[in-house]
Amino acid sequence: MSKTLIQPREIPEQEELNYLNNGTSLKSWLLTGDHKRIAVLYLIGISFFFFIGSIAAGLIRLQLMRPTGVLLENDTYNKVFTAHGIVMIFFFLVPSIPAVFGNFFIPLMIGARDLAFPRLNLLSWYVYMLGGVMFLAAMLGGGVDTGWTFYVPLSSMYSNTNVSLAILAAFMAGMSSILTGVNFIATIHKMRAPGMTWGRLPLFVWAHYATSIIMVLGTPVVAITLVLVLFERTFKIGIFSPELGGDPVLFQHMFWFYSHPAVYIMVLPGMGVQSELIANFCRKKVFGYHFIAISSLAIAALGFLVWGHHMYVSSQSMYQSTVFSLLSFLVAIPSAIKIFNWSATIYKGDVRLQTPMYYALAFMGLFTIGGLTGLYLASIATDVHLTATYFVVAHFHYVMVGGALTAYLGAIHYWWPKMFGRLYSDSLGKVSALLVFVGFNLTFMPQFIVGWLGMPRRYSVYYLAPEFQAYHIMSTLGSTVLGIGLFMPLCYLTYSLFKGPRASANPWGAHGLEWLTSSPPVTENFKQIPIVTDEVYDFDYERDHREHAEEADSEEVE
């Protein structure tokens, strides 16, 4: 750890050169190879698309307040939920944690100066943005009404909306995700600092390693599938549509071969964040470090073998369904292992209840429910009733929002001081975390019940079953609370950028190489590449209590 002495003659306002102020022209941002700047570019792009997706979500909830709909025509509603799905999945959840926090912190955590391929990294951002702009164009130019799943033959032969452009946009997002994955794998293999062995890798890095493998192996399949839909749509080449001699169920196999592992692309990085938060806010090494690391890889591997559980009623063979069901039950075990290990980490910890820990606790609660409700859907017999109802909607929102989004928010609150060198209000942070947790449960818990009653998803109106209304109203009210909880960080974090107190190098008293460098880090990350001698999450209560306890909250520069 290097100590920075403050020179007496230095003007206090004058900042040390860091990655943020090292070049301020637009060009220095748009042509940067610095992984930290690219992460910030991603943060801006992803926040923008999250905002678009949230507006669509708000419209959906508003529409469903009344059985006959409130605002939208059928077609408009269909375009809105399609936009919600495509934007949230391809342009928010898949890139969110990897492209922002993975990008920013993997090199810092392993003691590298950058990712292995800085220009590839920049390219991935441009490809992502290009895809995003294409999808915006598809939306503004009339919309897309196929659902994010692009099921054929609806998407290839029947829809007369901007399907082709949307498919190209999703293809671009996939390409960007492949580039990110390749970059992470190479970086983690080749660029670790001396002494940073695999057994000392933070679990965040392990999780991203597993995620990257899925990105690289899975994404090409969906890209090819979408291109085939495009060919069928444009050139009438029969692949999926029975009218042209194709097989519509083949599409579902190819689509879910990626799109189920994609769930793990979205949630594994969140689990990585969770491990960091739990360890650092309990001041304790994560319980069962090796089990958590290996369970990430197990999830990545098993995750490729369970896609058929989306297709129990698709007319795939009964025996095929049985096998997929068995494998789906097996993939639940590594997730359960993680939850139990995080819980056990708290035992004999020194728990700091600060904002990121609030989010970590919210993650545990919501992801537990999300994971357990997956059992209903892995089990074929119950899935025959529940599939494609609001039960499924509630389940995957518990995993995606309760898991991935909560972890994303936890990550923002945890690493914000490091990324921007500013502190935000901890009490506002706690309020927002509570609003998110309460609002989320209010929104999606009623959807479990209404789905169990038989409410199909993707319904613009439900006058066929008006008795579902009470649950929809509860859900809409809950989503308002959730919306406020999500809007708050946007305000106080933006405020902190300009007015927040300066952050020290390690404001949380956390452990990990990223906390050794200044906040915000210098462009080359470390003045000197660190040599790692500590074990990962090397907290020792006795020692820590003696040496660091007081230091943790203080503002002094380490």
Partner 1 sequence: MNSTIWNFPLAPDQASTYAGPHDALFYTITALTVLFTLIVFIAVIFLTVRYRRGTKVNRLDPVHEHLALELTWSIIPLILALGIFFWSTKNFIDVRTPPKDAMDIFVMGKQWMWHVQHPNGVRENNSLHVPVGRPVRLIMISQDVIHAFYIPEFRVQYMVVPGRYTYEWFQATKPGTYHLFCNMYCGTQHAEMGGTVTAMSERDYAQWLQNQGESVGQLSSVERGALEFDQMKCNNCHTDHDTERGPSLNGIAGTMRKMSNGSTVKADLVYLRESILRPWDRLTAGYGPAMPMYQGEISEEDVVSLIDYVASLGSAQLKPQMASDSRNLGTVSQKVRKEKQPRMAVGALGSEEEKSMGNPKPRALAVGSLADDGKGR
CB of 279 to partner 1, least distance (A): 11
Q: Which is nearer to partner 1, 217 or 244 (CB)?
A: 244
Single out the residue of 95, 107, 248, 530 in contact with partner 1 (rule: CB under 8 A): 248
Per CB under 8 A, 326 contacts partner 1: yes
Per CB under 8 A, 457 contacts partner 1: yes
CB of 271 to partner 1, least distance (A): 15
Q: Which is nearer to partner 1, 178 or 292 (CB)?
A: 292
Per CB under 8 A, 542 contacts partner 1: yes
| Amino acid at the residue 133 | V
Estimate to the nearest angstrom the gap between the alpha carbon of 312 and the chain centroid: 27
CB of 327 to partner 1, least distance (A): 10
3-state secondary structure of 352: coil
Alpha-helical runs (H) found in 512-552: 541-547
Single out the residue of 458, 492, 501, 557 in contact with partner 1 (rule: CB under 8 A): 458
Per CB under 8 A, 236 contacts partner 1: no
CB contact at 8 A, 199 and 534? no
CB contact at 8 A, 296 and 210? yes
Per CB under 8 A, 78 contacts partner 1: yes
Q: Which is nearer to partner 1, 287 or 420 (CB)?
A: 287
> Interface with partner 1 by CB under 8 A: which range of 167-175, 361-369, 496-504, 516-524?
361-369
Single out the residue of 341, 355, 447, 504 in contact with partner 1 (rule: CB under 8 A): 341
Single out the residue of 47, 379, 425, 480 in contact with partner 1 (rule: CB under 8 A): 379
CA dihedral angle for residue 537, residue 542, residue 543, residue 544, rounded to 10 degrees: 60
Q: Which is nearer to partner 1, 341 or 523 (CB)?
A: 341
Single out the residue of 351, 438, 484, 529 in contact with partner 1 (rule: CB under 8 A): 351
- Decide: residue 22, CB within 10 A, 0-12 exposed, 13-18 middle, 19+ buried: middle
Q: Which is nearer to partner 1, 33 or 147 (CB)?
A: 147
- Quick note: the x/- pattern for partner 1 over 278-317, rule CB under 8 A, is ----x-xx-xxxxx--------------------xxxxxx
CB of 164 to partner 1, least distance (A): 17
> Interface with partner 1 by CB under 8 A: which range of 218-226, 260-268, 452-460, 495-503?
452-460
Report how many residues bind partner 1 under the rule CB under 8 A.
Answer: 99
Phi, psi of 459 (to 5 degrees): -100, 125
Whole-Å CA distances, 212 to 154, 166, 558: 32, 24, 34
Single out the residue of 44, 381, 490, 531 in contact with partner 1 (rule: CB under 8 A): 381
Secondary structure element (H or E) that encloses residue 49, with its range: helix 35-63
Q: Which is nearer to partner 1, 16 or 540 (CB)?
A: 540
> Interface with partner 1 by CB under 8 A: which range of 26-34, 133-141, 382-390, 405-413?
382-390
Q: Which of residues 29-68 bind partner 1 (CB under 8 A)?
A: none
Single out the residue of 18, 164, 368, 425 in contact with partner 1 (rule: CB under 8 A): 368
Interior angle at CA 139, CA 474 and CA 254, nearest 5:
85
3-state secondary structure 218-287: HHHHHHHHHHHHHHHHHHCCCCCCHHHCCCHHHHHHHHHHHHHHHHHHHHHHHHHHHHHHHHHHHCCCCC
CB of 342 to partner 1, least distance (A): 8
Q: Which is nearer to partner 1, 106 or 302 (CB)?
A: 302
Size of the chain in residues: 558
Q: How far apart are CA 477 and CA 62, in angstroms?
A: 9
Q: Which of residues 141-200 bind partner 1 (CB under 8 A)?
A: 145, 147, 149, 151, 153-154, 157-159
Q: Which is nearer to partner 1, 95 or 356 (CB)?
A: 356
Per CB under 8 A, 353 contacts partner 1: yes
Single out the residue of 445, 465, 522, 532 in contact with partner 1 (rule: CB under 8 A): 465
Per CB under 8 A, 475 contacts partner 1: no
Q: How far apart are CA 269 and CA 358, in angstroms?
A: 18
Phi, psi of 530 (to 5 degrees): -70, 150
CA dihedral angle for residue 349, residue 355, residue 357, residue 359, rounded to 10 degrees: 170
CB of 78 to partner 1, least distance (A): 7
* 74 bridge partner residues: none
Per CB under 8 A, 430 contacts partner 1: no
Q: How far apart are CA 536 and CA 466, in angstroms?
A: 55
3-state secondary structure of 522: strand
Specify the residue for token string 């789906």: 328
Q: Which is nearer to partner 1, 42 or 471 (CB)?
A: 471
The tally of CA atoms less than 13 A away on the side-chain side of residue 414 is 35
Q: Which of residues 480-539 bind partner 1 (CB under 8 A)?
A: none
Per CB under 8 A, 389 contacts partner 1: yes
* 522 bridge partner residues: 525
Alpha-helical runs (H) found in 111-241: 118-140, 163-190, 203-235
CB of 458 to partner 1, least distance (A): 4
CB of 369 to partner 1, least distance (A): 6
Give 347's contacts (C-beta < 8 A, 6+ positions apart).
287
**Residue among 107, 66, 151 nearest 529 (CA):** 107
CB of 179 to partner 1, least distance (A): 31
Per CB under 8 A, 459 contacts partner 1: yes
What letter would DSSP give residue 353? -
Q: Which is nearer to partner 1, 215 or 293 (CB)?
A: 293
Per CB under 8 A, 348 contacts partner 1: yes
